[in-house]
Amino acid sequence: MNVASDFPVLAQTPHGRRLVYLDSANTSQKPQAVIDAMSSYYETTNANVHRGSYELAVRATEALEGSRARVARFINAATSREIVFTKNATEAMNLLARSWGTANLGEGDVVVLSDMEHHANIVPWHMLAAERGIELRWIPVGPDGHLVLDDLDRLLDGASLLSVTAMSNVLGTLNPIPELAAAAHHAGALIAVDASQLVPHVATDVQALGADFMAFTGHKMLGPMGIGVFWARAELLEAMPPFLGGGEMILDVTKDGFTTNKIPWKFEAGTPMVADAVGIAAACDYLDDLGMDTVRAHEVGLTAYALRTLTERHGDRIAIHGPSEPAERGGVFSFTYADVHPHDIAQVLDQSGVCVRAGHHCAKPLMRVLQVPATTRASLYVYNDESDIDMLADALTEAGELFSFQE
């Protein structure tokens, strides 16, 4: 796969070095096709949507609803009515907790999470626990980076919801969502999936996954910042109360109350992010043109090369967390290097033009499981190739020499 030239930001040469962008688990870069689609919207179509009768407003409405339909096709939703646009996946998870959770959970009800969750799938449930007295249970993570499912039936006993990531943003672990969904449903629980790291990298079929709710975000899948997606089965959305009030989410308002709009607009208060919706639809087009199976195969091969290269070149100085088998993980690898602080590693790598992330990656419970305060994280996408991994390995050698750990 050779598509780096489609991404204008990658033409830069920071510190006189070729830019090597290895932070796509945080946010992806944008192809020219996405940039052009959003620019074209603002240049030719911009207007507020749904209630305008003039041609420009009609075309803007068609752009928004056409983008919704495009996203629905990308994840094989049964209908575009199941696609709710949010500003990001964090808002989508909060929508789930505040709307469905508030309506359905009370004292003693159980939500099951895992130790590898992003804070966006932890904090909303802590907030609800403090308010409503719900119980949180936790699926542990084993030394191999996989969920330990031996006790899953007990954890799900009496639970109302299992809320779990499809792919760890730290370990890269791909969780067995169909298996987890079947177990949750057998126990009488629903399942919510944080698919922020899955949808950009693996062909995703919400119906085949068996999910009831799912959240993901545009900016990790070559789309713009400022738009996310909350998907749920239509019958669940119909039964859920609105999350925010005002604007598009109402049909009528009187001094005595209000009537909500139909789904999905019931959950889309205020002016929508139309240009961003156009951008995420263009990202879906771009990824489908590449082929999601091709994207996945590229990343599995590149992950294998990265794990092998870093281990061979840096030996026991580098500790890479997560599954050892590339097919069991996404293109995300978090590591520690000797006893150098991850932030120091990231700063030194930046001088070589290599962009990585350092910190707890919004996963502090997992950091405690790993018994580290932070890691350095490199993450791959369609615009990376083996030369990027070589530059990462070279930059780590320079870091080792700087900190006097190189033999």
355 has catalytic annotation = no
Q: Among residues 271, 288, 305, which one ends one of the domains?
A: 288
Take residue 380 and report the two structure tokens written for it. Answer: 């791959």
Give the integer Cα–Cα distance in Å for 18 and 174. 31
* CB-based burial, 52-69: b 16+ in 10 Å, e otherwise: eeeeebebbbebbbebbb
- Shared domain for 252 and 306, answered yes or no, is no
Q: Are residues 211 and 337 in the same domain?
A: no
The pLDDT assigned to 370 comes to: 97
Are 314 and 181 in a shared domain?
A: no
Q: Are residues 138 and 56 in the same domain?
A: yes
Q: List average pLDDT for each run of 10 residues in the chain, which is 407 residues long.
A: 95 94 98 98 96 92 98 98 98 98 97 98 98 98 97 98 98 98 98 98 98 98 98 98 92 94 96 97 98 98 98 96 97 95 96 96 97 97 98 94 67
Number of structural domains the chain divides into: 2
Write the CB contacts of 190 (distance below 8 Å, at least 6 apart in sequence): 160, 161, 162, 184, 212, 213, 236
Domain boundary residue among 288, 317, 348?
288
Domain identity same for 129 and 232? yes
Residue 126 lies in a domain: yes
Please state, as a whole number, how many other Cβ atoms lie within 10 Å of the Cβ of residue 253. 11
The CATH number given to whatever domain includes residue 199 is 3.40.640.10
Q: Do both 279 and 154 map to the same domain?
A: yes
Give the domain CATH number at 379.
Answer: 3.90.1150.10
214 and 247: one domain? yes
Closest CA to 355 of 7, 27, 4: 27
pLDDT of residue 406: 44
Instruction: Tell me which DSSP letter residue 100 carries.
Output: I
Domain assignment present for 13: no
> Which residue among the candidates 362, 367, 372, 393 is catalytic per the annotation?
362
Q: Which long-range contacts (CB under 8 A, 24 or more apart) does 216-220 make?
A: 216/89, 216/92, 217/88, 217/89, 217/92, 218/276, 218/279, 218/280, 218/283, 219/27, 219/28, 219/88, 220/24, 220/25, 220/26, 220/27, 220/28, 220/196
Residue 121 within a domain: yes
Considering the domain architecture, whether residues 272 and 347 belong to the same structural domain is answered as no
Q: Looking at the domain assignment, is residue 337 inside a domain?
A: yes
Same domain for 123 and 44: yes
- Expressed as residue numbers, the domain containing 304 is 291-402
Last residue of a domain, one of 258, 288, 318: 288
Shared domain for 102 and 214, answered yes or no, is yes
Residue 314 lies in a domain: yes
Shared-domain flag, residues 264 and 355: no
In this structure, are 274 and 339 located in the same domain? no
Answer whether residue 396 is part of any domain.
Answer: yes
Beta-ladder partners of 335: 320, 376
| pLDDT of 51 | 81
